Amino acid sequence: MNPAAITMFGLTMTSLLLCIALAVAWQAFGRERHAALWSIAFGLSSAKWAMSLLDLWVPRGDAPLSLAIVLLSIVSFALIALGFRRRAGLAERRDVLVSVGGVTLLFAGWAVLWSTNVGASRALVMFFCAAMLIVSARSLRAGRPGEGRATGGAAFWMLSLFAAYDLGLGIMALCISDGASYQLYRSLFLMGLPTGLFGVGLFAMFLLAADLAEAMRQVAASDPLTAILNRRGFEQAALPLVAQSQRHGRPLAVVIADLDRFKTINDRFGHGVGDAVLQCFAAHVGGAIRQCDLFGRLGGEEFVLMLPDTNPAEAVEAMERVRHGLRAAVGDLVPSAGISASFGVAMLQGRFDTLADAMQRADAALYQSKLDGRDRVTLADALPAAILAAPALPRRAA
């Protein structure tokens, strides 16, 4: 059998399998739209290679078939780029893609129908594919911060190399002048394209799996009621900040906050209202702290914060602002009951202090706030050593 036919058949089946695999991933991994776009792209790619296989046995100069192959090539690579941009949270710019793809199709169609330069249409398509791969690679590094998307270092370089390969093939296509140069172009085309095509599909699957793992990690680290960090998530996120503070000698404040008389609110108004109070408190605190601060829920009505590069006076001032604004933020839910919170603030002390040690001192300071009448902020540094060394006492009725 013709080696070119074998390669075309392999590309047809590979693209079809990637289409099916990405469709399954779209179905199983949360129906992400970029997965659907990639699946459609490889489905069109499979159709394109099937037509290319058919083109080997039809008479030369079949313009409609050649134009269909060009169209499928342009649309499939445009959809791949569109999927990468959507995954990164970037503007899809479909108008630009349609315009560039349309111009490419127009000139490539002209080359197929009227040009005597048989390499012109091939070159235009390869240049367009290279441009779409560059757009895809740049999208991996241009996503919105904080979304937890994998940047795909290996995928970035694979897409970049594939783009350079397509660009080189496009230049070679323009330089086709005889049978020998055409055979060289054809050989390089058939040798490199299967690898590049399989690589794009493989890394698309890898990125989908990485995104799913990150989403699962975030779910495991988040409190389902308030959507902030749970205790496990907070401790995992806090450890690097503790290490950085100790390495560079920067101040680090730890705060434990507790809603006052929360059991009474639950008993009087019901757990639904209690849950709404917790959600409003979390939203209020989250809106009052900096982006670099950590905020989590330890359980029940107890919350924890970590404030990097914050000295004791600044930490107390920040919590006072939170405390003073709490009634306005939450009071509408239970207007007949005063809603307040108590806070305990502790500083990380020295290179051998641990997060658990700082949280214990903050917990002791919080308990002192309860003893002193609630609705206040207490700094652990101002407490006697005997109080800080005492074991934590229950506060649920406070």
Tokens of 165: 């390969």
Count CB neighbours of 99 within 10 A: 11
- Does 386 have pLDDT greater than 60? no
Structure tokens at 341: 């919170």
Global model pTM greater than 0.85: no
For residue 292, give the H/E element and its range.
Answer: none
Q: 145 falls in which pLDDT band (50, 70, 90)?
A: very low
Q: Of 12-16, 183-187, 315-319, 352-356, which gets the smallest average pLDDT?
A: 183-187
State yes or no: pLDDT of 60 exceeds 70. no
Q: Tell me what the mean pLDDT of segment 210-239 comes to.
A: 88
- Distance between CA atoms of 20 and 97, rounded to whole angstroms? 25
Strand, helix or coil for residue 325? helix
Closest CA to 63 of 5, 115, 129: 115
Kindly give the residue spans of alpha helices, DSSP state H, lying in 93-230: 94-113, 119-140, 153-174, 179-221
- Tell me the domain boundaries of the chain: 3-219, 231-389
One DSSP character per residue, 377-394 reads EEEGGGS-HHHHHSPP--
Residue 264: pLDDT band (50, 70, 90) is confident
**Residues 6+ positions from 12 with CB-CB distance below 8 Å:** 46, 49, 50, 53
Residue 334 has pLDDT above 80, yes or no: no
* Chain mean pLDDT for the chain: 85
Position 54 confidence tier, pLDDT thresholds 50, 70, 90: confident
Domains 3-219 and 231-389 share a fold: no
Residue 185 scores a pLDDT above 50: yes
Q: Does 150 have pLDDT greater than 60? A: no
- Percent of the chain at pLDDT > 90 equals 47
Topology classification of domain 3-219: Rhopdopsin 7-helix transmembrane proteins (1.20.1070)
pLDDT grade for 225, boundaries at 50, 70 and 90: very high
Residues facing 341 on adjacent strands: 259
pLDDT at 155 over 50: yes
pLDDT at residue number 211 = 85
Q: Percentage of the chain with pLDDT > 70?
A: 89
Q: Are 341 and 375 in contact (CB under 8 A)?
A: yes
How far is Cα 314 from Cα 337, in angstroms, rounded to an integer? 30
Instruction: Dihedral sign for Cα 97, 99, 103, 105, please.
Output: positive
Looking at the domain that runs over 231-389, which CATH code has it been given? Answer: 3.30.70.270
Residues with Cβ < 8 Å from 51, sequence gap 6 or more?
A: 65, 68, 69, 72
Cβ distance 348 to 242 under 8 Å?
yes
User: What is the bridge-based pairing of β-strands 294-299 and 302-308?
Assistant: antiparallel
pLDDT at site 293: 95
The mean per-residue pLDDT over the stretch 117-132 comes to 84
CA 281 to centroid of chain Cα atoms: 27
Mean per-residue pLDDT for 146-158?
69
